[in-house]
Every structure is written in C-alpha cells, then in structure tokens.
A and B are shown apart, each in its own frame.
Chain A
C-alpha cells in the first residue's frame, strides 16, 4: 500500500471515497461460491397439482353403475367400447354432463400407457366439466 489506510485525508479530496480497510477479494470469493451453490441447488420448476382419486374411495355403494368408462389404450381412447378421438370424447362427456352434472367418469389406462397420456385425458375431461373422475386399474 502506498498510504496507510487510516491516514488523514487531505482537505482537497473531500469528495473522495474512504478507502476500504479490508480487501474485498475474499468477500467476492465467498459470494461467488454462494451464487454457484444457489444456482445449482435450487429448482425452478413451477409445480402444479391434480387430484388423484381411486374408485374404491369415491364409490359408496353401487354407484359404479351408470359411470362412464373411458379406456385409454396405447392406440387410442375408448368410451364404452367405442373408439373415439380426444375431442370427440370431450364432446360426448360434456353432453352427458349437461344431463347429469354429477356424472362419474372412470378412467382406465391399459398396460403400457404413459402417465402423460393419462394426464392429458384427465385435463381434457376436467376442462369439459367432469368433476367426479377416478382412475381405475386395468386388471380389475
């Protein structure tokens, strides 16, 4: 250092900044390490949630009768053994819900169907107004 840090300031340099007593370099090192830690350790996913219901819990008594059964196969969707597209299925379910607002819908994915396809169908039916949906295992 050319001058001691605590030397009295010359009056001409009144606006000048006070010199730091401690070097900032170690501070920056620590801040960089913290920055990298937070960048790597945090997750930035925007989580949402959907309800999962199984028929065992939702069903009280014999209400499985009269429920719409939507089967998700790896090659398409079936409503009561009739093959349909997702749009047609949503229309059909929406029409049914107009008659019977509390219509139960059972969704039965086949083996090998991914969670994403199932979630797509759940989303679509929810948008069509279905509130009472349950997931059902294929083997039942």
Chain B
C-alpha cells in the first residue's frame, strides 16, 4: 500500500504538532510541580513511612547537613532565628511551622532547634519528610 501524506503548505502548519506537545508538557509541569522559594543550601529530607500530608507551608525553617539554619531564605544563627520566629508569630498565631531538616544532620541539633523554637513561642512543630521507596525497610 502506498500512502501519500499531504504536504503542509507553510512552516507554521508543519510545526503545529510540536506546539501541541510543548503545550501539553507546559501544562503538565505547571500542574504537577509546586513553585516554591529555594533554600540557601541543599537539603535531602529524611525518608519516613508517615502518611500525613502537607497542605500548606506557612513557615519553613531549614536545617542543613552541616548545621546551617535558614529562615525566609536567609542564613541565620540560633539567636537571630529565635528572634525572627518570635517576631513573626507574634502577629499571626495561627501559623504552622515546618522544620525541613537534612537527613544527615545531627539529631541533637534538631532537638536544640526544636527547643529553641518552643522557647520562641512555637506551639506545634512538624518535621517534613518524603515517603520511603516501596522496597524500603519501613513498616
């Protein structure tokens, strides 16, 4: 059998399928991803079997593998972090606070930050994790 493709007359018609695919990709990436400000350092979050979903990030405090602390995209030391968080939650008491710690950071320091935030008036603190891979040892 012999099919003859009708040849498009101009360039625009020839690239229409490309545009369709690119539009689909664009819509996919817009819907699947979540735009968020990036942290000043890389964080590999710990894996856990927790099922609790995260709906909104109100305040995120980042703790890096080398013990760096960041809040609102700025690197801070412990005292200024406490001050900054206390200032922020003074006005809005309903804010939820998330701690984004690197999986290789020191657990002792995590607890130090936890206590520091409690002293700053944080009521409920949660640690952000990612789900463990299916073949993991969880459960």
Contact = CB atoms under 8 A, between A and B. Distances in A.
B62 to A, nearest CB: 13
Interface string B112-139: 1011001000001111111100000111
Interface in A15-50: 17, 19-20, 23-25, 27-28, 31-32, 34-35, 38-39, 41-50
Interface residues of B, number: 56
Interface string B85-97: 0000000000000
Contacts of A100: none
B3 interface: no
A3 B34 CA distance: 46
Contacts of B101: 115
A127 B49 CA distance: 9
Interface of A: 17, 19-20, 23-25, 27-28, 31-32, 34-35, 38-39, 41-52, 54, 56-57, 72, 109-120, 122-123, 126-127, 135-139
> In terms of DSSP, what is the predominant structure of the interface of chain B?
mixed
B68 interface: no
21 contacts: A24-B15, A27-B19, A31-B26, A35-B22, A42-B35, A46-B131, A47-B129, A48-B129, A49-B53, A49-B127, A52-B125, A54-B114, A113-B107, A113-B108, A114-B104, A114-B105, A115-B104, A115-B110, A119-B46, A119-B103, A120-B48
Going nearest first, the 6 A-B pairs with the smallest beta carbon separation are: A42-B33, A109-B107, A116-B103, A38-B29, A47-B54, A49-B126
Given A28-B15, A115-B104, A48 B51 contact: yes
> In terms of DSSP, what is the predominant structure of the interface of chain A?
mixed
Contact of B118 (A20, A31, A56, A110): A56
B19 A115 contact: no
Contacts of A109: 107-108, 111
Residue among A46, A47, A136, A139 with the most chain B CB within 10 A? A47
